[in-house]
Amino acid sequence: MALTISTPSNPSYLADDAIAKIHENPGFGVYFSDHMALIDWTSELGWTNARIVDHTPFSMDPAGSVYHYAQEAFEGLKAYRRADGSTWLFRPRSNAQRFANSCARLALPQLPEDDFVESVRQLVAVDSRWVPSGHEQSLYIRPFAVATESFLGVRPGKAVTYCVITSPVGSYFAGGVAPVDIWVETHYSRVANGGTGAAKCGGNYAASLLPQEIAYQHGCNQVMFVDNAEHTWVEELGGMNFAIITKDDELITPELNGNILPGITRDSLLTLAPEVGLTAQERPVSLAEVYEGLAKGTIAELFACGTAAVITPIGSLTDESGRHEVNVPADGGRTIALRNLLIDIQYGRIADTHGWTEQV
Ligand code: PLP
Ligand code: COI
Protein backbone atom coordinates (compact mmCIF):
# COMPACT_ATOMS: atom_id res chain seq x y z
CA MET A 1 0.00 0.00 0.00
CA ALA A 2 1.59 3.27 -1.12
CA LEU A 3 0.76 6.14 1.20
CA THR A 4 0.62 9.77 0.19
CA ILE A 5 2.41 12.03 2.62
CA SER A 6 0.88 15.48 2.79
CA THR A 7 2.97 18.45 3.86
CA PRO A 8 1.56 21.21 6.08
CA SER A 9 0.12 24.25 4.35
CA ASN A 10 1.44 26.70 6.91
CA PRO A 11 4.69 25.40 8.35
CA SER A 12 6.49 27.38 11.02
CA TYR A 13 10.14 27.24 10.12
CA LEU A 14 13.08 28.13 12.34
CA ALA A 15 15.05 30.94 10.68
CA ASP A 16 18.09 29.97 8.57
CA ASP A 17 20.51 31.85 10.84
CA ALA A 18 19.17 30.00 13.91
CA ILE A 19 19.72 26.65 12.18
CA ALA A 20 23.22 27.76 11.14
CA LYS A 21 23.98 28.51 14.81
CA ILE A 22 22.74 25.05 15.85
CA HIS A 23 24.92 23.50 13.13
CA GLU A 24 28.02 25.16 14.64
CA ASN A 25 27.78 22.74 17.57
CA PRO A 26 24.80 20.39 17.29
CA GLY A 27 25.88 17.83 19.92
CA PHE A 28 23.84 14.63 19.66
CA GLY A 29 20.04 14.47 19.83
CA VAL A 30 19.62 17.89 21.41
CA TYR A 31 17.93 19.89 18.63
CA PHE A 32 15.03 18.77 16.44
CA SER A 33 14.02 19.79 12.94
CA ASP A 34 10.80 21.66 12.11
CA HIS A 35 8.67 18.68 11.12
CA MET A 36 7.79 15.08 11.90
CA ALA A 37 6.18 12.31 9.89
CA LEU A 38 3.17 10.48 11.33
CA ILE A 39 1.20 7.42 10.24
CA ASP A 40 -1.69 6.05 12.31
CA TRP A 41 -2.65 2.42 12.70
CA THR A 42 -5.75 0.86 14.18
CA SER A 43 -6.69 -2.80 14.27
CA GLU A 44 -9.82 -1.91 12.28
CA LEU A 45 -8.36 0.30 9.56
CA GLY A 46 -4.71 -0.70 9.34
CA TRP A 47 -2.22 2.05 8.37
CA THR A 48 -3.90 5.38 7.52
CA ASN A 49 -3.38 9.12 7.40
CA ALA A 50 0.33 9.40 6.52
CA ARG A 51 1.34 13.02 6.92
CA ILE A 52 4.12 15.43 7.70
CA VAL A 53 3.28 18.03 10.33
CA ASP A 54 5.12 20.49 12.56
CA HIS A 55 7.30 18.83 15.25
CA THR A 56 4.95 19.30 18.23
CA PRO A 57 4.26 17.40 21.47
CA PHE A 58 1.90 14.42 21.33
CA SER A 59 -1.34 14.49 23.22
CA MET A 60 -1.93 11.00 24.63
CA ASP A 61 -4.33 9.76 27.28
CA PRO A 62 -2.46 8.79 30.50
CA ALA A 63 -3.96 5.33 29.98
CA GLY A 64 -2.07 5.03 26.66
CA SER A 65 -0.59 1.53 26.76
CA VAL A 66 3.01 2.52 25.90
CA TYR A 67 3.17 4.42 29.20
CA HIS A 68 2.41 1.26 31.14
CA TYR A 69 3.70 -1.72 29.19
CA ALA A 70 6.40 -0.14 26.99
CA GLN A 71 5.02 -1.48 23.71
CA GLU A 72 7.46 0.46 21.53
CA ALA A 73 10.13 -0.07 18.86
CA PHE A 74 12.49 2.39 17.17
CA GLU A 75 15.18 2.85 14.55
CA GLY A 76 18.20 5.06 13.99
CA LEU A 77 19.71 6.08 10.66
CA LYS A 78 21.36 9.16 9.19
CA ALA A 79 21.12 11.52 6.22
CA TYR A 80 24.48 12.77 4.92
CA ARG A 81 25.19 16.05 3.09
CA ARG A 82 27.66 15.52 0.22
CA ALA A 83 30.15 18.08 -1.07
CA ASP A 84 27.84 18.83 -4.04
CA GLY A 85 25.02 19.75 -1.61
CA SER A 86 22.93 16.61 -2.26
CA THR A 87 21.54 14.55 0.64
CA TRP A 88 21.79 10.75 0.88
CA LEU A 89 20.53 8.01 3.18
CA PHE A 90 22.63 4.98 4.14
CA ARG A 91 20.90 1.56 3.88
CA PRO A 92 17.39 2.81 4.81
CA ARG A 93 15.88 -0.47 3.59
CA SER A 94 17.93 -2.39 6.15
CA ASN A 95 16.50 -0.15 8.86
CA ALA A 96 12.99 -0.73 7.47
CA GLN A 97 13.50 -4.51 7.65
CA ARG A 98 14.94 -4.39 11.17
CA PHE A 99 12.08 -2.13 12.26
CA ALA A 100 9.56 -4.67 10.94
CA ASN A 101 11.37 -7.43 12.87
CA SER A 102 11.43 -5.35 16.07
CA CYS A 103 7.72 -4.54 15.67
CA ALA A 104 6.92 -8.22 15.17
CA ARG A 105 8.71 -9.07 18.45
CA LEU A 106 6.88 -6.28 20.27
CA ALA A 107 3.49 -7.38 18.85
CA LEU A 108 3.27 -4.06 16.99
CA PRO A 109 1.95 -3.84 13.42
CA GLN A 110 4.63 -3.97 10.71
CA LEU A 111 4.90 -0.92 8.48
CA PRO A 112 5.60 -1.87 4.83
CA GLU A 113 9.24 -1.25 3.87
CA ASP A 114 8.34 1.26 1.13
CA ASP A 115 6.23 3.33 3.53
CA PHE A 116 9.09 3.42 6.06
CA VAL A 117 11.60 4.57 3.45
CA GLU A 118 9.17 7.06 1.91
CA SER A 119 8.30 8.61 5.29
CA VAL A 120 12.01 9.10 6.00
CA ARG A 121 12.81 10.37 2.53
CA GLN A 122 9.95 12.90 2.44
CA LEU A 123 10.63 14.18 5.95
CA VAL A 124 14.31 14.72 5.18
CA ALA A 125 13.35 16.45 1.91
CA VAL A 126 10.96 18.83 3.75
CA ASP A 127 13.59 19.56 6.42
CA SER A 128 16.62 19.50 4.11
CA ARG A 129 17.86 22.81 5.59
CA TRP A 130 18.51 20.86 8.77
CA VAL A 131 21.03 18.44 7.19
CA PRO A 132 24.34 19.91 8.37
CA SER A 133 27.43 20.11 6.17
CA GLY A 134 30.17 20.33 8.81
CA HIS A 135 32.92 17.74 9.30
CA GLU A 136 31.33 14.35 10.09
CA GLN A 137 27.97 15.94 10.82
CA SER A 138 24.70 14.41 9.70
CA LEU A 139 20.95 14.47 10.30
CA TYR A 140 20.09 11.66 12.71
CA ILE A 141 16.69 10.13 11.90
CA ARG A 142 14.62 8.46 14.60
CA PRO A 143 11.58 6.47 13.38
CA PHE A 144 9.53 4.82 16.14
CA ALA A 145 6.16 3.24 16.85
CA VAL A 146 4.22 3.41 20.12
CA ALA A 147 0.97 1.77 21.26
CA THR A 148 -1.46 4.58 22.05
CA GLU A 149 -4.70 2.78 22.90
CA SER A 150 -6.22 3.85 26.26
CA PHE A 151 -6.50 0.46 27.92
CA LEU A 152 -4.90 -1.04 31.01
CA GLY A 153 -5.38 -4.72 30.24
CA VAL A 154 -2.18 -6.42 29.14
CA ARG A 155 -2.48 -7.16 25.42
CA PRO A 156 -1.19 -5.52 22.23
CA GLY A 157 -2.64 -2.03 21.73
CA LYS A 158 -5.32 -1.67 19.07
CA ALA A 159 -4.09 1.83 18.19
CA VAL A 160 -0.48 2.65 17.28
CA THR A 161 1.30 5.80 16.14
CA TYR A 162 4.34 5.61 13.87
CA CYS A 163 6.43 8.78 13.96
CA VAL A 164 9.74 10.00 12.53
CA ILE A 165 11.69 12.89 14.03
CA THR A 166 15.13 14.16 13.03
CA SER A 167 18.02 15.84 14.82
CA PRO A 168 21.21 17.42 13.42
CA VAL A 169 24.19 15.70 15.06
CA GLY A 170 27.95 15.71 15.38
CA SER A 171 29.89 13.02 17.27
CA TYR A 172 28.03 10.81 19.73
CA PHE A 173 30.99 10.82 22.12
CA ALA A 174 32.23 14.23 23.25
CA GLY A 175 35.81 13.22 22.38
CA GLY A 176 34.96 12.45 18.73
CA VAL A 177 37.18 9.60 17.54
CA ALA A 178 39.35 9.62 20.69
CA PRO A 179 39.41 6.10 22.21
CA VAL A 180 36.60 5.45 24.72
CA ASP A 181 36.85 3.61 28.03
CA ILE A 182 34.37 0.78 28.57
CA TRP A 183 32.88 -0.59 31.79
CA VAL A 184 32.27 -4.35 31.54
CA GLU A 185 29.05 -5.10 33.41
CA THR A 186 29.05 -8.57 34.88
CA HIS A 187 26.21 -8.18 37.40
CA TYR A 188 23.28 -6.58 35.57
CA SER A 189 21.97 -7.93 32.26
CA ARG A 190 20.42 -5.86 29.53
CA VAL A 191 18.46 -8.70 27.95
CA ALA A 192 17.79 -12.38 28.59
CA ASN A 193 17.67 -15.49 26.41
CA GLY A 194 14.37 -15.54 24.54
CA GLY A 195 13.80 -11.86 25.38
CA THR A 196 13.92 -8.75 23.22
CA GLY A 197 17.70 -8.40 22.75
CA ALA A 198 17.61 -8.64 18.96
CA ALA A 199 14.82 -6.04 18.76
CA LYS A 200 15.45 -2.32 18.90
CA CYS A 201 12.94 -1.44 21.63
CA GLY A 202 12.95 1.08 24.45
CA GLY A 203 12.83 -1.56 27.19
CA ASN A 204 16.32 -2.82 26.32
CA TYR A 205 17.68 0.69 26.75
CA ALA A 206 15.75 1.25 30.00
CA ALA A 207 17.47 -1.86 31.38
CA SER A 208 20.85 -0.47 30.30
CA LEU A 209 20.54 2.91 32.03
CA LEU A 210 21.57 1.88 35.55
CA PRO A 211 24.62 -0.08 34.29
CA GLN A 212 25.46 2.94 32.09
CA GLU A 213 25.35 5.13 35.24
CA ILE A 214 27.68 2.64 36.94
CA ALA A 215 30.01 2.92 33.93
CA TYR A 216 30.11 6.72 34.39
CA GLN A 217 30.86 6.25 38.09
CA HIS A 218 33.91 4.20 37.06
CA GLY A 219 35.03 6.98 34.73
CA CYS A 220 33.97 5.02 31.62
CA ASN A 221 32.07 6.31 28.57
CA GLN A 222 30.01 3.19 27.75
CA VAL A 223 28.88 -0.07 29.24
CA MET A 224 29.53 -3.52 27.74
CA PHE A 225 27.14 -6.40 28.40
CA VAL A 226 27.99 -10.09 28.56
CA ASP A 227 25.58 -13.02 28.27
CA ASN A 228 22.98 -13.22 31.02
CA ALA A 229 23.38 -16.90 31.83
CA GLU A 230 27.13 -17.40 32.30
CA HIS A 231 28.41 -13.79 32.36
CA THR A 232 31.21 -15.09 30.14
CA TRP A 233 30.43 -14.23 26.52
CA VAL A 234 30.71 -10.71 25.16
CA GLU A 235 27.48 -9.44 23.58
CA GLU A 236 27.44 -5.70 22.85
CA LEU A 237 27.60 -2.24 24.33
CA GLY A 238 24.64 -0.19 25.58
CA GLY A 239 24.16 1.44 22.17
CA MET A 240 26.74 -0.12 19.84
CA ASN A 241 28.13 -3.42 18.60
CA PHE A 242 31.61 -4.59 19.59
CA ALA A 243 34.50 -5.84 17.44
CA ILE A 244 38.11 -6.99 17.75
CA ILE A 245 40.99 -6.67 15.29
CA THR A 246 43.73 -9.23 15.85
CA LYS A 247 47.39 -8.87 14.98
CA ASP A 248 46.75 -11.60 12.38
CA ASP A 249 44.38 -9.33 10.45
CA GLU A 250 41.10 -10.80 11.60
CA LEU A 251 38.00 -8.76 12.33
CA ILE A 252 36.03 -10.68 14.95
CA THR A 253 32.59 -9.71 16.26
CA PRO A 254 30.25 -11.71 18.51
CA GLU A 255 27.81 -13.76 16.45
CA LEU A 256 24.13 -12.79 16.42
CA ASN A 257 22.80 -15.06 19.18
CA GLY A 258 19.31 -13.59 19.52
CA ASN A 259 20.40 -11.25 22.32
CA ILE A 260 22.47 -8.85 20.19
CA LEU A 261 21.10 -6.08 17.98
CA PRO A 262 21.90 -6.91 14.34
CA GLY A 263 23.67 -3.63 13.68
CA ILE A 264 23.67 -2.26 10.17
CA THR A 265 27.10 -0.71 10.73
CA ARG A 266 28.34 -4.11 11.99
CA ASP A 267 26.93 -5.81 8.91
CA SER A 268 28.50 -3.19 6.61
CA LEU A 269 31.91 -3.66 8.26
CA LEU A 270 31.77 -7.43 7.83
CA THR A 271 31.33 -6.75 4.11
CA LEU A 272 34.03 -4.04 3.95
CA ALA A 273 36.65 -5.91 6.02
CA PRO A 274 38.42 -7.57 3.04
CA GLU A 275 38.80 -4.13 1.40
CA VAL A 276 41.17 -3.12 4.22
CA GLY A 277 42.93 -6.51 4.34
CA LEU A 278 40.92 -8.06 7.18
CA THR A 279 39.25 -11.48 7.31
CA ALA A 280 35.85 -11.19 8.96
CA GLN A 281 34.56 -13.69 11.51
CA GLU A 282 31.34 -13.85 13.52
CA ARG A 283 31.65 -16.21 16.47
CA PRO A 284 31.23 -16.40 20.24
CA VAL A 285 33.87 -14.24 21.97
CA SER A 286 34.62 -14.82 25.65
CA LEU A 287 35.64 -12.04 27.99
CA ALA A 288 38.64 -14.17 29.06
CA GLU A 289 39.77 -14.41 25.42
CA VAL A 290 39.64 -10.63 25.07
CA TYR A 291 41.59 -9.97 28.27
CA GLU A 292 44.18 -12.61 27.41
CA GLY A 293 44.53 -11.32 23.84
CA LEU A 294 45.12 -7.79 25.11
CA ALA A 295 47.71 -8.99 27.63
CA LYS A 296 49.59 -11.12 25.07
CA GLY A 297 49.29 -8.62 22.23
CA THR A 298 47.39 -11.04 19.95
CA ILE A 299 44.50 -8.58 19.99
CA ALA A 300 45.63 -5.32 18.41
CA GLU A 301 42.52 -3.13 18.45
CA LEU A 302 38.97 -3.00 19.81
CA PHE A 303 36.17 -0.80 18.61
CA ALA A 304 32.51 0.11 19.05
CA CYS A 305 30.31 0.52 15.98
CA GLY A 306 26.83 1.84 15.29
CA THR A 307 24.95 4.59 13.50
CA ALA A 308 25.47 7.06 16.34
CA ALA A 309 29.02 5.99 17.23
CA VAL A 310 30.12 5.29 13.60
CA ILE A 311 33.33 3.44 14.53
CA THR A 312 34.94 4.53 17.78
CA PRO A 313 38.21 2.98 19.02
CA ILE A 314 38.14 1.46 22.51
CA GLY A 315 41.05 2.43 24.78
CA SER A 316 40.37 0.19 27.77
CA LEU A 317 38.02 -2.34 29.36
CA THR A 318 37.42 -2.21 33.10
CA ASP A 319 35.52 -4.60 35.34
CA GLU A 320 35.48 -5.47 39.04
CA SER A 321 38.88 -7.19 38.61
CA GLY A 322 40.65 -4.16 37.16
CA ARG A 323 41.56 -2.30 33.99
CA HIS A 324 42.73 -3.86 30.71
CA GLU A 325 44.47 -1.38 28.41
CA VAL A 326 44.42 -1.45 24.64
CA ASN A 327 47.66 -0.36 23.00
CA VAL A 328 45.86 1.93 20.52
CA PRO A 329 48.05 2.50 17.42
CA ALA A 330 49.17 6.11 17.05
CA ASP A 331 47.88 6.25 13.45
CA GLY A 332 44.51 4.79 14.46
CA GLY A 333 45.39 1.43 12.89
CA ARG A 334 42.90 -0.58 10.90
CA THR A 335 40.00 0.69 13.01
CA ILE A 336 40.47 4.12 11.48
CA ALA A 337 41.15 2.65 8.01
CA LEU A 338 37.81 0.84 8.21
CA ARG A 339 36.13 3.96 9.58
CA ASN A 340 37.47 6.12 6.76
CA LEU A 341 36.27 3.62 4.16
CA LEU A 342 32.78 3.55 5.66
CA ILE A 343 32.38 7.31 5.97
CA ASP A 344 33.84 7.91 2.51
CA ILE A 345 31.00 5.73 1.15
CA GLN A 346 28.41 7.45 3.35
CA TYR A 347 29.50 10.95 2.28
CA GLY A 348 29.89 9.90 -1.37
CA ARG A 349 33.64 10.56 -1.52
CA ILE A 350 34.21 7.14 -3.06
CA ALA A 351 31.98 4.96 -5.21
CA ASP A 352 29.32 2.91 -3.41
CA THR A 353 29.82 -0.50 -5.02
CA HIS A 354 27.38 -2.17 -2.61
CA GLY A 355 24.20 -0.25 -3.47
CA TRP A 356 23.92 1.06 0.11
CA THR A 357 23.29 4.76 -0.48
CA GLU A 358 19.98 6.31 -1.65
CA GLN A 359 19.54 9.93 -2.66
CA VAL A 360 16.75 11.85 -0.88
N1 PLP B 1 23.58 -2.25 19.44
C2 PLP B 1 22.77 -1.39 20.08
C3 PLP B 1 22.28 -1.76 21.42
C4 PLP B 1 22.42 -0.18 19.46
O5 PLP B 1 21.62 0.69 20.09
C6 PLP B 1 22.92 0.11 18.18
C7 PLP B 1 22.55 1.36 17.51
O8 PLP B 1 21.61 1.42 16.80
C9 PLP B 1 23.76 -0.82 17.56
C10 PLP B 1 24.06 -2.00 18.22
C11 PLP B 1 24.30 -0.58 16.19
O12 PLP B 1 23.30 -0.68 15.21
P13 PLP B 1 23.40 0.16 13.87
O14 PLP B 1 24.74 -0.07 13.33
O15 PLP B 1 22.31 -0.40 13.01
O16 PLP B 1 23.15 1.57 14.24
C1 COI C 1 21.94 4.45 17.07
O2 COI C 1 23.14 4.38 16.87
O3 COI C 1 21.13 4.70 16.16
C4 COI C 1 21.36 4.21 18.40
O5 COI C 1 20.17 4.05 18.50
C6 COI C 1 22.23 4.17 19.56
C7 COI C 1 22.04 5.23 20.56
C8 COI C 1 23.30 5.23 21.40
C9 COI C 1 21.76 6.59 20.05
Last residue of a domain, one of 138, 169, 200: 169
Same domain, 188 and 325: yes
**End-to-end alpha carbon distance in the chain:** 21
The CATH number given to whatever domain includes residue 48 is 3.30.470.10
Q: Residues 224-258: pLDDT tens digits? A: 999 999 999 999 999 999 999 999 999 999 999 99
Looking at the structure, tell me whether residues 132 and 277 fall in a common domain: no
229 and 252 co-located in one domain: yes
pLDDT digit string, tens, across residues 140-189: 999 999 999 999 999 999 999 999 999 999 988 888 889 999 999 999 99
What is the signed CA dihedral for 290, 292, 295, 298, rounded to 10 degrees?
-70
> Which residues does a 6 A CB cutoff place in the pocket of ligand 2?
76, 239, 306-308
- For residues 257 and 235, the answer to whether their CB atoms sit within 8 Å is yes
pLDDT tens-digit readout, 258-310: 999 999 999 999 999 999 999 999 999 999 999 999 999 999 999 999 999 99
Band of pLDDT at residue 216, cut at 50, 70 and 90: very high
CB 241: neighbour CB atoms within 10 A? 24
Q: Which of 124, 139, 169 is the last residue of a domain?
A: 169
Asked if 323 and 219 sit in the same domain, the reply is yes
Q: Give tens-digit pLDDT for 97-142.
A: 999 999 999 999 999 999 999 999 999 999 999 999 999 999 999 9
Top mutation candidate among 190, 223, 241 for ligand 1, by most atoms within 8 Å of CB:
241
Mean pLDDT computed over 61-76: 97
For residue 34, what are the domain limits?
Answer: 16-169
CATH of the domain at 231: 3.20.10.10
Q: What is the pLDDT of residue 8?
A: 60
Q: How far apart are CA 6 and CA 20, in angstroms?
A: 27
Q: How far is CA 58 from CA 35, 39, 49, 62, 218, in A?
A: 13, 13, 16, 12, 37
The alpha carbon of 29 and the centre of ligand 2 are apart by a number of angstroms equal to 10
pLDDT of residue 12: 61
* Residue 72: exposure state from Cβ atoms within 10 A (0-12, 13-18, ≥19): buried
Number of domains the chain contains: 2
175 in a domain, yes or no?
no
pLDDT digits (tens, 9 = 90+) for 3-21: 566 666 555 688 899 999 9
Which of the listed residues 121, 139, 169 is the one where a domain comes to its end?
A: 169
How confident is the model over 331-339, as a mean pLDDT?
A: 93
d(CA 324, CA 312): 17
* pLDDT in the model for residue 247: 95
Residue of minimum CA distance from atom 5 in ligand 1: 239
Ligand nearest to the CA of 90: 1
